[in-house]
Amino acid sequence: MISQAHSASDPRLPGALNAVSLGAQLAFYFLSLSDLLIPESNPLKRLTSPVRTFVVLMAASFRAAAILFRPNANYWTTTTVTKPKTVEKGIPKSGGPAINTP
């Protein structure tokens, strides 16, 4: 199934190069996933961490494209400002700490 999807994405590659390309891509994603399991002290982490960072940033940029197709109301809300609560004898009504007043 993955091979068919990859072949459909670049049908110009001959059979052997298509297989090599698919293998390299799968290895790249495997390194990204394996980063979650590799401890910080392992030297292999220096290789897997940048790969995982790249994959996460590519996924984030793919998700960020949604802002072009969805209405602004889904992302922003209107903020309303209210007057602050009054203070009596240095103690706010919210029951918080006392405020020193002269």
Q: Domain for residue 97, yes or no? A: no
DSSP 30-63: HHHHHTTTS-TTSTTHHHHHHHHHHHHHHHHHHH
Please, how many CA atoms are within 13 Å of residue 100, restricted to the half-sphere of its CB? 0
pTM: 0.57
Q: Domain for residue 101, yes or no? A: no
How far is 37 from 95, CA to CA, in rounded Å?
47
pLDDT tens, residue by residue, 58-101 = 999 988 888 888 887 777 778 888 877 766 665 556 655 555 55
Q: Domain for residue 10, yes or no? A: yes
Domain that holds residue 6: 2-74
How far is 48 from 19, CA to CA, in rounded Å?
23
How far is 36 from 39, CA to CA, in rounded Å?
8
Q: Domain for residue 55, yes or no? A: yes
pLDDT tens, residue by residue, 1-39 = 455 555 555 667 787 888 888 888 889 999 999 999 999
Domain count across the chain: 1
Q: Domain for residue 54, yes or no? A: yes
Judged by phi (left if over 0) then psi (alpha if -120 to 50, else beta), residue 47 lies in alpha
Q: Which residues contact 54 (CB under 8 A, 6 or more apart)?
A: 32
